[in-house]
Structure 1
Amino acid sequence: MQIADALRLAIQHFNAGRAVDGTDICARILDLHPANPAANVLLARQALRDGDRATARRHVDTALAEAADYPAAHELDARLKAEDETADPNTAERAYRRTLTLAPGQWAPWYDGGNLHQARRDDPAAAVPFYRRALTLAPDEIPPAMNLATAQLKLGDAEAALNACAHTRARDPNHIRALALETAALYDLGRADEADRLVGWGGLTRAVELPQPDGYPDIAAFNHAFAAAIRRHPNRRDDWDPSKRAIRGGAVVTDLLAMDDPAIRGFGRALDSALRAYVRALPADAEHPHVAATPARWALDVWANILGADDHQTGHIHNLGWLSGVYYVAMPGGVRADDPEQQGWIEFNRPGYGIPHRGGATLRTLFPAAGMAALFPSYVWHRTIPFTGTGERISVAFDLHPR
């Protein structure tokens, strides 16, 4: 097989999600031609998807040494420099300018350049023209529309942000981030009734009690055993990546249900029962995006958060879910139902990700009573109000993913 044909086949594999097959073909190409720019770029992209920045850097450098003006290699070079928080942002900006000079008609460098201004330079105004240019070149691409809407909300241009959300929802009516940003824009525009309908407080967003798992005299005994299982879980991590999670401080337990433990198994069964009851109780409202997207089948992603004093979760949404929620296992003494400051409570509708709350949102709170779960559409903004004092706040978060 000729190298050009092998590269086409490798690209087909990568595009179809067959990374192992694509990587294998590229490796064989490099056995024959170690400096092949295209194969090195394909492997660099896969390394970035795998979180291996060092390998990506090595392949990019090899590609550029062989082909100094190869646009795809310059695009990855700029992205690596932009994502390196220890590097000077000016270095990344020069790399993007070089990429755009070589390939002005490609949308991705414009999008990445916008991200550099918005994320690294905290300059959403400078990012806007980059996102607009990306959308001009690729109108069906959703990421630049969503980051454009975010920048416009930061700048106070809610009407423009709403237009960007409509642009996305015309292509994906139930897009989670578009619905979240649309909610924030509607609140900013004084259209609280429309935003509140999306949130569905008391119906789509509500507190529920999970069925008590068998084998325990009461819910307090179950939660005591459940908390102990969470604390000793082998997946407990104190060194999580803050760019990928909303938690600030504390510890995370990923893939919670993977541990074979009676309390964890009991929780899994109780959660499944509560989720099925939620779906059965949904109103017959085909015009509501959350209801319209109700899945017939789903998978669950479940993890635990262990917070101490001053730890909290910033405002966020769950991009990959349809329905999300949190079950409260244990609360420290300082988190009280009669606390006027509502320390440790969960708050809804205040936007996150650097989007300011301009006073128009209908803020809602729930006291996180041990044994209670809060359920909400995955696009609903939520955060944990920080608390002081001693003790641990243990909760279990989950996403229901359509499949």
Structure 2
Amino acid sequence: MRQAVAQLQSGKLKRAESLLDRVLKNYPTHPDALHYQGVVMYQQGRYEESIRHLSAAISAAPDYAEAHNSLCIVLLEQHNYGDAISHAARALEIRPEFAGAHANLGNAQQEQGALDLAVASYRSALALDPMHREAAYRMASVHLALNDPEQALAACSACLRIDPHCQHALAYKALALQLLGRHGEARQLYEYDRMIHRTEIKPPPRHDNLFQFNQALEEAIREHPSLVWEPFNRVTHGGAVTGDLLLQPTQLIKSFEQALRAAIDAYRDSLIEEPGHPLLGRIPRNYRLTLIASILKSGGRHPPHIHESAWLSGVYYVHVPGAVKGEDPAHAGWLEFGRPDCPLVDGFAPEVTARRPRAGLALFFPSYYFHGTIPFEASEERIGIAFDAYPEG
């Protein structure tokens, strides 16, 4: 069990799963083994298996608050907010001081539109754990939905005291400033023309041309063992998504990583440091990459989202349908920036922009930029590889 938990905490999910299988083979109703296996399954996107293990852990130990809370998290991913609330509430009956369960209860309440209840839950979480980053930035999003930009801005400031690099707090801060009419300050964060970078990725030498390289990438993505169609999460609707391609990279993926790193390094080296700026004030010499591929069918989309804890994010376009055109006023299939992941007061239109995708093109942008795809209608599929650069050292 100790080895399995250590592997889980270090992100070695397959090794953790194998060790937990060994425990469960001999102790099939071991509550901790069932709970941690449920967490492992969740982190791999295997939600039904996760629910099965977490439910078994609760059956074996009905007063296991952590298992109830973990099950709440998985149910949130499946948009089953009623049951999520039930399990968060049960966790709090068992452990009233469980800050994480208060925060997750707030998340479920917010999704159901019970905004005042969500505020109370986030306050409870922060009273118990003043360093609870998610409760702090989710509090900001609720105040935005309640048309209280002053309180939203205060919540962002509190969150940024917890973590000066919290990407959600930076994004919600820009929205609060827009609502307050402080557009100059907001644009210091959302400088679209300056901070969204376009670059061409050069195909590795062993590939004859960009078209042949992208064909090989498309085949690798379609055949990747982690590819899941219609996943139960908030990142892809109407399509498929892989796990991190760099966990077990093929030679082709390694070649793509090298080409992408060369482009990122060139961009990073061109930047001029600006102390205090959320992107330019923390330019890293070393960074860890993740690569997540996606396939969108006609009508599919990536809803607005942020890549928390990353410094720079982006997407490389492997294949773009011919129906995604530059002269389309609706910008169908384009990547849109600035539209948030939370509802806003009627009549308020956030400042947004969009960029047209093209096969062979990569877009780089700060990780605190809300971004999502505008749905498109086409017979072809839209294929891309999203990346995040996480500072190291």
TM-score bracket, shorter-length normalisation: 0.7 to 0.9
In structure 2, what is the equivalent of residue 235 of structure 1?
225
- Tell me the residue number matched to 2:126: 135
CA 1:283–1:200 in 2, change beyond 3 Å: closer, same or farther?
farther
> What CA deviation, in whole Å up to 9, does each residue of 1:190-209 have, x standing for no partner?
22322222233233322122
Q: Is the 8 A contact 2:149 2:176 kept in 1?
A: yes
Q: Is this contact kept in 2: 1:177–1:379, CA < 8 A?
A: yes
| Post-superposition offset of 1:48 | 3.8
TM-score using structure 1 length? 0.80
Percent identity over the alignment is 31
**Which of residues 292, 301, 305 in structure 1 aligns to 2:294?**
305
d(CA) in 1 for partners of 2:82, 2:236? 30
Counterpart among 354, 357, 370 of residue 368 in structure 1: 357
Deviation at 1:133, TM superposition (A): 1.7
One-letter code of the match for 1:110? Answer: H
TM-score, structure 2 normalization: 0.82
Residue 173 of structure 1: aligned partner: 164
Structure 1, 208-217 or 83-92: larger mean CA deviation:
83-92
Matches within 5 A, 1:82-161: 83-84=74-75, 93=85, 96-97=88-89, 99-101=91-93, 103-119=95-111, 121-161=112-152
Are the structure 2 counterparts of residues 279 and 361 from structure 1 closer, same or farther at C-alpha, using a change threshold of 3 Å? same
Secondary structure of 1:213 counterpart: coil
Give the direction of change, closer, same or farther, for the CA distance of 1:95–1:221 in structure 2 (3 Å limit).
Answer: closer
CA–CA distance in 2 between the matches of 1:259 and 1:137?
Answer: 42
1:111 aligned partner, one-letter code: A
Residues 372 and 352 of structure 1: CA distance in aligned 2, closer, same or farther (over 3 Å): same
Give distance in 2, aligned partners of 1:207 and 1:134. 41
Deviation at 1:88, TM superposition (A): 8.4
Structure 1: stretches of 5+ with no match in the other structure:
1-6, 65-69
- Separation in 1, partners of 2:204, 2:86: 59
Structure 1 residue aligned with 2:54: 56
* Residues 401 and 98 of structure 1, relative CA distance in 2, 3 Å threshold: closer
- TM-aligned CA distance change 1:195 to 1:48, over 3 Å: farther
Structure (1 or 2) with the larger CA radius of gyration: 1
Residue deviations 1:191-245, cap 9 Å, x none?
23222222332333221222343245543444344434434x33362435332x5
Unmatched tracts of structure 2, length 5 or more? 43-49
Amino acid at match of 1:46: Y
Q: Does residue 380 of structure 1 match 2:369? A: yes
Q: Please tell me the residue identity of whatever aligns with 2:106.
A: G
Please point out which of 233, 243, 261 is paired with 1:272.
Answer: 261
Q: How far 1:387 moved relative to its partner?
A: 1.0
Equivalence for 2:270: 281
CA distance in 2 between counterparts of 1:79 and 1:56 reads 7
Per the alignment, residue 174 of structure 2 pairs with 183
Output aligned runs, 1:329-340, within 5 Å. Answer: 329-340=318-329
Provide the secondary structure at the position in 2 that maps to 1:268: helix
Q: 2:185 aligns with which of 178, 194, 202?
A: 194
Residue deviations 1:281-312 (CA, integer Å, cap 9, x gap): 11220110222222221121112222221111
| Deviation for aligned residue 1:14 | 9.3
Secondary structure of the residue aligned to 1:185 is helix
Post-superposition Cα deviations, 1:248-281, rounded to whole Å, max 9, x if no partner, equal: 112224333545355x454322211110011111
Give me the whole-angstrom Cα distance separating, in 2, the residues matched to 1:307 and 1:18: 27
Greater shift in the superposed pair: 162-171 or 86-95? 86-95
Measure the CA separation in 2 of the matches of 1:92 and 1:218: 50
> Residue 208 of structure 1 corresponds to which residue in structure 2?
199
Contact 1:174 1:290 in 2 (8 A): no
- SS across alignment from 1:170: helix
Please name the residue that 1:3 is paired with. none
Letter in 2 for 1:57: S
Question: Hey, what does 1:392 align to over in structure 2?
Answer: 381
The alignment covers a number of residue pairs equal to 376
- Determine the C-alpha separation between the residues in 2 that align with 1:171 and 1:342: 38
357-366 or 109-118: bigger deviation: 357-366
Amino acid in the other structure paired with 2:189: L
Q: Deviations over 1:65-105 (max 9, x none)?
A: xxxxx5xx246336636754799866665665555455434
